[in-house]
Structure 1
């Protein structure tokens, strides 16, 4: 299978901004200095190190790891590309520089690489399951990300072949249950959104019942999110929209409690998107290590 990353199209943050954020990660870990390394490792000693992936993984986070090591004055040469699938005990990068600097940046780099690779790996695994069943449903992330890490989590999803979904509240109008509760009704919430929105913004409506989904489609929603619906109810919505001639006028997103065990049950019904919060909030980090392989002077 060929996995096309959408990172180049949607996830280009200027290097200066990204470097500033990553510098903050380093400051959080290093504090006033790595006292253990400063006591043991002589100043000026040059080393060569490798980052080893210890399990099957889709690699993500190489650009960020490069920035981390460059900030402390070391060089970072990747042996693979973002999105590559690697086997256990693969060396994915070579780092050269002062031993003190490399050891001080080690944990920050490994944490980000491990987390991003874990998210990319889980995303790829779910997409492969969908594709092997002969289905072409888009797998998307949600905003269920750790504060401060959303860019990295969403980029990892994209590297894994998924869609990052909206990044922030200003990306798209998404009318949820609490908006409807305050507005008084789905009709009133959608009416307000339609009357004031920019032409450039789509409207998505979260529907928790079959009736609300059909109502949202009739009222002009662009996307309908079927939230926490059973397989039976999702089928009812899609069948009803087809009968009403509305299915091709809206995108259908299925969300809520989607797992590896039930994703094919939902995908087989023909939604356009399945969003899975677990690919960012519950993905297992990939086991990696940084190993000093040579003292160069």
Structure 2
């Protein structure tokens, strides 16, 4: 290789985010679905078959690595007919072929329901995330759209992955990520100032601290105590925007430290437009992972 030659850097994909321990979760889900005899698998046997994955509703395709791992564990091969990242499945009354699965008949059926559940849920979250991200982009909102920690127990990795594919932020992944001090923390320690000071002592410089605030006065106390992010919680849109503007203006003159403002609490795809503001840095939604519609997929073994 010449001195001028360049090494080709592989293109990053969202699948590269997945930790190696996700395979154990999928093993557990497969075990849950078949805890004893598989009589249906006994009926169809080991004959080699080809099944087609169809999409039967519109949405964003997400969850490919999880689908692949299910079928890898049961001994099948998956060939995707479309890519995952940025792919919109536009269902217009005719099912859309998305992938082909090949393997023994009983093993295709062994992985079928677990794989479809994963894909449908992940794609539904990605679709809702993309819808809200598009609304923000169309309105010229340059801040962050984020999900929350309101996820299904045991399923967080899949749901957070769906948020990323849909084009929004995951917010904090768990309690060991960013520190979020809510009303219960404040009441338990006596004050916002005490909670922030205690948190900083343990979190150090590398972890951000966010404080949930119900008024401008509480936000001022949090900022003065050294919080990095102020969450204005459960405020109506006009009150929130007015409060955010006031805080940004006042603290720009009082401190060189930049404090981020987050809007949260009861915001939905129908109401989010009224919260867009240049003074709001983050808008977070529990609804991105709660009560989201599924994207409909089916897996059909082809007749010979």
Please give the TM-score of this superposition, normalised by the length of structure 1. 0.91
CA contact (8 A) 1:49 1:294 kept: no
Deviation of the 1:69 alpha carbon: 0.7
Q: Using a 3 Å threshold, how does the CA distance of structure 1 residues 243 and 136 change in structure 2: closer, same or farther?
A: closer
| Structure-to-structure mapping, 1:130-209, within 5 angstroms | 130-209=136-215
- Give the alignment partner of residue 71 of structure 2, picking from 69, 72, 85: 69
CA contact (8 A) 2:121 2:295 kept: yes
Aligned to 2:283: 274
For residues 242 and 98 of structure 1, what CA distance do their matches in structure 2 show? 62
* 1:31 has 2:38 as partner: no
- Give the alignment partner of residue 20 of structure 1, picking from 24, 32, 36: 24
Deviation of the 1:268 alpha carbon: 3.2
Aligned to 1:85: 88
Alignment length (residue pairs): 286
CA contact (8 A) 1:127 1:162 kept: yes
Gaps of 5+ in 2: 1-11
Give every structure 1 segment of 4 or more consecutive aligned residues whose post-TM-superposition deviation is greater than 4 Å: none
Secondary structure in 1 matching 2:274 = helix
For residues 218 and 118 of structure 1, what CA distance do their matches in structure 2 show? 41
- Give the alignment partner of residue 262 of structure 2, picking from 253, 265, 269: 253
CA contact (8 A) 2:241 2:280 kept: no
Which whole-Å deviations, capped at 9, do the CAs of 1:57-76 have from their partners, x for residues lacking one? 10011111111011111101
For residues 27 and 194 of structure 1, what CA distance do their matches in structure 2 show? 42
Deviation of the 1:227 alpha carbon: 1.1
Q: Using a 3 Å threshold, how does the CA distance of structure 1 residues 185 and 245 change in structure 2: closer, same or farther?
A: closer
Aligned to 1:52: 54
CA contact (8 A) 1:214 1:237 kept: no
For residues 237 and 224 of structure 2, what CA distance do their matches in structure 1 show? 22
| Structure-to-structure mapping, 1:207-218, within 5 angstroms | 207-218=213-224
Which whole-Å deviations, capped at 9, do the CAs of 1:171-208 have from their partners, x for residues lacking one? 11111100000111112111222334311111111111
Secondary structure in 1 matching 2:230 = strand
Aligned to 2:131: 125
Which whole-Å deviations, capped at 9, do the CAs of 1:90-141 have from their partners, x for residues lacking one? 2111000111110121100000000000000000011001111122221111
For residues 268 and 239 of structure 1, what CA distance do their matches in structure 2 show? 9
Secondary structure in 2 matching 1:225 = strand
Which whole-Å deviations, capped at 9, do the CAs of 1:147-168 have from their partners, x for residues lacking one? 0000110011001011111111
For residues 23 and 150 of structure 1, what CA distance do their matches in structure 2 show? 16
Secondary structure in 2 matching 1:278 = coil
Secondary structure in 2 matching 1:156 = helix
Secondary structure in 1 matching 2:302 = strand
Gaps of 5+ in 1: none
Please give the TM-score of this superposition, normalised by the length of structure 2. 0.89
For residues 239 and 70 of structure 1, what CA distance do their matches in structure 2 show? 52
| Structure-to-structure mapping, 1:87-106, within 5 angstroms | 87-88=90-91, 89-106=95-112
Deviation of the 1:31 alpha carbon: 1.6
